[in-house]
Chain A
Amino acid sequence: MTDTILLYVDPGSGSYLIQVIIAAIVGALFYFKNAWLRVKAFFWRPKKEDANENDNVNG
């Protein structure tokens, strides 16, 4: 049974690959989100200069 074997895997070691995948997906999402926010800021609030500091935006 694969399931029982998995319980003995060190909690850290198996999670490397998944982090690479998740970081890639999440990174792409944040990239598009920030791009969209910049576009939005350009059209709706052109005077706001700190729009590109939105690394921590919710979402």
Chain B
Amino acid sequence: MVNYTRHPASFKDPAGFVFEADGKFYRQVNQYYAIQYRQLMDSGLYAQLVKNGWLVSHEEINENLTQDPSWYTTILPEPVNYISYPYEWCFAQLKDAALLTLKILRQSLEYGMILKDATPFNIQFHKGRPIFIDTLSFDIYNPQQPWIAYRQFCQCFLFPLYLEHYLKSDIPKILAAYINGIPNDIIAKLLPLKSRLNLGVWLHVYLQNTTMISDKGNKAAAKFSKKKLIDLVSHLENIIRNFPADKSYKTTWSNYYDDTILSRQYVEEKEKIVLEMCGKTGAGSVLDLGANTGHFSKKLAAQGMSVVATDTDSRCINKLYLDTTKNNSLNILPLVVDVANPSPAIGFNNTERAAFHDRIQTELVMALALIHHLVIGRNIPISALAGYFRRIAPQLIIEFVPKQDEKVKQMLSTRPDVFADYDQDHFENAFSAYFTIVDQVKIPGTERILYRMIRK
């Protein structure tokens, strides 16, 4: 037997579990799931899904590593670089994950199988695309039965998409509060009145809510068929596909970024310095905090780095995600993360879903034009920030934006200047406590300084 740790999120399904041994993530398949697993593998469904790039591929390890008596087989799935969760995704990511779930369901039906659950936690973004990672989610299909995961699909995918679509605000975030999806009665109260005119909303939200209240375990009478299920799936697909991923948001998001873009010359100079510094770090992976629409992330990805690009503004991340899918930039993972409040550890025992920085670790962290937003915008002392970066960054590229800078002046014009410590000296002192400053370059034409640091 090897030393192994069972993954804290892998406790719901008796079909098997994920465990870590020797730094690798394995998935044990239990006897309980043997028939379904064989059908998945022997029917050709697995091969087809892997060929489509929809399901994570795996290698079968015919060895009972855990010495568990319920063992049937062990699989070693292809590793996924970064684990992200739906409350860190933008609208277009959640939409793509929803469509992938439906595509897999449709494909499964052709091979006599069905998805027994439909949660976004079964999906990860890998090499720029959503991919299904739960190999044990497939069940034998019984055409007389409706889809057991229909309500879960609605609560986890359709309802948040509807909310964002109608309210035009950043909704996936609230999935951190509703880890099992937004309950039907809540979305029925949140959606605006005009949404009732939409057939999809009327059926899946309001009618479902009404039948839930009146439904007294009356499932015996329900007869179903494959055609009916395919109609239902097609309907869901049409609704989700027709959500504009970008278009309708342009009006609300208009000119948002034009304000933040400084002169072209500044960007070009900064780009040169950042790329040179990055080259010196020798890092293969970078976490870009406050990436905006990913101008620098894209440059680093083009150099072959694996990039996690985060911003607190879901509109930026949505734009970047659409950009990466359009241009096939496979090594950027855009995520909606607030640096002053990164996703915490949540779920059962507070271990089911790990905290953001425990999941996403990179060799380099980059924080360009960010520090003034944290110190002045969020009242975080420089010394506290230095401690934070020490925890997350083996190497750091950080831009200091002093008080003389136009952007900082703007910020200070609306609040009292209680930031006596906010200057270059205090910044360097605070960071020197934890880092060795190896490079520092002033961006020509500005008061801003770029630093490259290595953790002590």
Contact (A11, B180) CB under 8 Å given A6-B185, A23-B224, A27-B227: yes
Interface size (A, Cβ < 8 Å)?
A: 27
Interface status of B151 (Cβ within 8 A of chain A):
yes
The A-B contact count (CB < 8 A) is 94
B238–A58 contact, CB under 8 A? yes
A18–B234 contact, CB under 8 A? no
Closest to B234 in A: A56
Q: Please measure, in the bound complex, the distance between the C-alpha atom of A26 and the C-alpha atom of B230, giving whole angstroms.
A: 10
Q: Please measure, in the bound complex, the distance between the C-alpha atom of A27 and the C-alpha atom of B345, giving whole angstroms.
A: 43
B-side interface mostly: helix
**B234: A residues at CB distance < 8 A:** 26, 30, 55-56
Interface positions of A from 26 to 53, Cβ below 8 Å from B: 26-27, 30
* Chain A residues packing against B (C-beta within 8 Å): 2-3, 6-7, 9, 11-27, 30, 55-56, 58-59
B207–A59 contact, CB under 8 A? no
Give the contacting residue for B222; candidates A9, A11, A16; CB below 8 A. Answer: A16
Contact with A along B172-187 (1 / 0, CB 8 A): 0000000011011100
A14–B238 contact, CB under 8 A? no
B242–A14 contact, CB under 8 A? no
Give the contacting residue for A3; candidates B181, B185, B228, B235; CB below 8 A. Answer: B185
Known: A6-B185, A15-B208, A17-B222. 5 other contacts (CB 8 A): A12-B148, A14-B212, A20-B223, A27-B228, A58-B238
Partner-binding segment picked from B43-51, B213-221, B385-393, B448-456: B213-221
**A27: B residues at CB distance < 8 A:** 227-228, 231
Q: Please measure, in the bound complex, the distance between the C-alpha atom of A19 and the C-alpha atom of B149, giving whole angstroms.
A: 11
13 A-B residue pairs with Cβ-Cβ distance under 8 Å, sorted by A, are A3-B185, A9-B212, A13-B217, A14-B212, A16-B146, A19-B232, A20-B146, A21-B207, A21-B211, A22-B204, A23-B146, A23-B224, A23-B229
**B150: A residues at CB distance < 8 A:** 12, 15, 18-19
Closest to B219 in A: A16
B232–A22 contact, CB under 8 A? yes
Q: Shortest distance in angstroms between A56's beta carbon and chain B's nearest beta carbon?
A: 6
Give the contacting residue for A25; candidates B203, B212, B222; CB below 8 A. Answer: B203
Q: Please measure, in the bound complex, the distance between the C-alpha atom of A27 and the C-alpha atom of B207, giving whole angstroms.
A: 16
Closest to A58 in B: B238
Contact with A along B232-261 (1 / 0, CB 8 A): 101100100110000000000000000000
A19–B238 contact, CB under 8 A? no
